[in-house]
A and B are shown apart, each in its own frame.
Chain A
Amino acid sequence: MEKLDNQVTTVNYDKLDELVRKFQKIFNIFVPIFAFLVSLIVVGIIIKIQGGSIIVAYSSLFKSAFGNLNSIGNSLSRAVPLIMAGLGIAIAARANIINLGAEGQIIVGGIFATYVGINLQGLPPVLHITLCLLAGFIGGALCAFLPGHFNAKHNTNIIITAMLLNDITIGILGALVQGPMKEVGGFAPQSAQIAMSARLPMFIPGSRVHVGIIIALVLAVIAHFVLFKTPIGLETRILGGNPLVAKHSGMQVIGMQIMLVLIAGGLAGMGGAMEIMGSQFRLREAFLMNYGYEALAVALLGQKSPYGVIIAGILFGALKAGRGGMVNAANLPVSFSMVLSGVLILCISISPILMKIPRYLAVRNISANR
């Protein structure tokens, strides 16, 4: 009798866990797709209200993003800073640190790279490019240091310090291109062009896509490897999962938190540098307006996974490249892309409720099969 009761109440937890994991894997892919669809529907409603045709609008978006080699190149080159900053945000987010400072980090990275790109002359391209990228990384990391350091050491609110710093760097950028870094003899508020040796080579003839995309892809692969296959990656994920466990298992929590923010900032800064070295060649006011915030959307849409960030980054790059065509076709103001990112971030931020479904499904599945 006792034995029978036992059998009825016992649940095979190994099997349950396995099922939960299986369903979670599916949901990891399903949730971003769901969020993206919702945002497309919201923008579709706006198009409808505006009196445009949804099909025409979205097909022209697709055409001007992927229609020919040139537009594909455009989409990819727009994706570079988004992927870079998104990678940084995703890595830090794995340790539960939210880096909202990417906007400022991109800008400072761009400033540093431009400075090195203009003022060093006559270097071999490989060396010059490396130096510029390094300068971008250092710039971004510097910008991330203040919020990151005070957050880890003194528990100040990293979100608010980073946001304030974003606005401050925009002011500094404006002052630089109107003053010290302004092109000699020029009228527009912009810097001189960087040296030829500092420019990232284009590798597909007839399109504007530059080597930056390859660097970004390689970095994403490295990030994936480090996150999931090395002790450092494991520690990062433990820090995000349970800081108390991290602390009591003897990890250098403060040091790791600072390091992660620096890496996140550095990657964003490198993204800004690549934009200057690969497509704009000079510093302008607002040269990457709002990319930092869209990079947050990229990191979240990519489910904080490096490969996911690549896909999401290319998607957003395509959106940026193609929105011109869509604006013409549907008579939409450009700001619709901000609406799309906003809805996306909101949808993904409420996804915890969706991520409860796998466990529910697994429990139901188990009890049905018993």
Chain B
Amino acid sequence: MEQFLSIFTEDFFYATIRMASPIILAALGEVILERAGIFNLGIEGVMLFGAFFAVLGSFLTGNAWMGVVFALLIGVVLGLVYALAVVTIRSNQAVTGTGINILAIGLTSLLSRMIWGVQAVPLTVKGIGPLKIPFLGDIPVIGAVVFNHSPLVYLAYIMIGVVYFILYRTSWGLKIRSIGEQPKAADTMGINVIGWKYGMCVISSMFSAVAGAILSLSFMNLFVDNMSGGRGYMAVASVILGQWNPMGAALGGLIFGAGNAIQMRLQAFGVPIPSSLLLVLPMVIALIVVLAVRGSASARPSALAKPYYKE
């Protein structure tokens, strides 16, 4: 027990905040999108594309921030593709998302081999390292745990407030939410439902792509095959756990981040649990959470995953 408690050190909280950030960012994007009535399982694949293109951008320009720009651009492209498929053509959202995920695994691994060849040591690029915030970073304990992260990690946490504010305190947010609940009524009120759905697809896809950039540029400075490793699915689970509220989704992201951090600490301790089981610990948490919150699905947008037919 004492040994178990000794997991919860400064390092653990630091790792939790860090590991949670990509899941939070992707989950926030998914919250916006699902509030507008669209479900996107493909954010896993978008994350992977984002991670790859961030490394590519940093590799080509030598500037890590250009990597983020590359990730944003691929996010826009994938968002438009997804919107075209599910909004205009009204294809099945889960199937389309899965198609994007499979394409992402194949294409990123293919492209990385085509561009960099097969290397014994993976190629590293300029990343976006931790940035200590002046004054705040000097606070004992809290400074080291909270205010010494990569700027992209801060961005993920800042976006929680931004998304919350936009969704609940602005007329844009009202429009988005009304589209997810009653698209017909929204249309009658003169809201361009199709246009907003397109916009939300693009924006949420950009969120996920930057989440991928966090993985590749802030965590490792390199790209490895399938490096998103199911974080996209965890983000989708966080949205359900958070009952389609950005704050709740962020809390869900933190829980999965903590699961990740615990798993890493346990591995470092050499506990007698096989590493492959420890690796899926966050998934187990996610599964239990999704099954447990099943009862209170009233927060779910009524028109979620239903194609919209304009008359």
Contacts and interface: CB of A to CB of B under 8 A. Distances in A.
Contacts of A350: 85, 89, 91, 96
Interface stretch (B125-133, B153-161, B167-175, B288-296): B288-296
A360 interface: no
A259 interface: no
Contact of A333 (B102, B114, B274): B114
Contacts of B295: 154
A231 interface: no
Contacts of A172: 276-277, 280
B236 A98 contact: no
A290 B104 CA distance: 13
A164 B89 contact: no
Nearest to B284: A168
A198 B104 CA distance: 38
Interface of A is mostly: helix
Contact of A338 (B85, B109, B236, B276): B109
A301 interface: no
Contacts of B291: 146, 150, 156, 161
Contact of B94 (A100, A161, A173, A338): A100
A280 B279 CA distance: 26
Contacts of A290: 102, 105
A362 interface: no
A335 B109 contact: yes
Interface stretch (A119-127, A134-142, A306-314, A341-349): A341-349
A297 B96 CA distance: 11
B290 A345 contact: no
B41 A335 contact: no
Interface in B250-280: 274, 276-277, 279-280
B233 A346 contact: no
B237 interface: yes
A98 B92 contact: yes
Interface string A158-174: 01110111011011111
A293 B89 contact: no
Contacts of A157: 236, 240, 290
A300 to B, nearest CB: 7
A33 B97 CA distance: 22
A340 B240 CA distance: 32
Contact of A175 (B274, B286, B297): B274
Contact of B106 (A300, A337, A351, A352): A337
Contacts of B92: 98, 349
Contacts of A349: 85, 91-92, 95-96, 99
Contact of A342 (B89, B107, B240): B107
Contacts of B233: 160, 163-164, 167
A8 interface: no
Nearest to A177: B276
A338 B294 contact: no
A266 to B, nearest CB: 21
Given A98-B95, A346-B100, A339 B114 contact: no
Contacts of A351: 91
Interface of A: 46, 49-50, 98, 100, 146, 150, 154-157, 159-161, 163-165, 167-168, 170-175, 178-179, 290, 293, 296-297, 300, 332-333, 335-346, 348-353
16 contacts: A100-B94, A155-B297, A157-B236, A157-B240, A161-B287, A161-B290, A167-B280, A172-B280, A293-B102, A335-B105, A335-B110, A336-B110, A342-B102, A342-B103, A345-B102, A352-B90
Interface of B: 41, 85, 89-92, 94-96, 98-107, 109-110, 113-114, 225, 230, 233, 236-237, 240, 274, 276-277, 279-280, 283-284, 286-287, 290-291, 294-295, 297
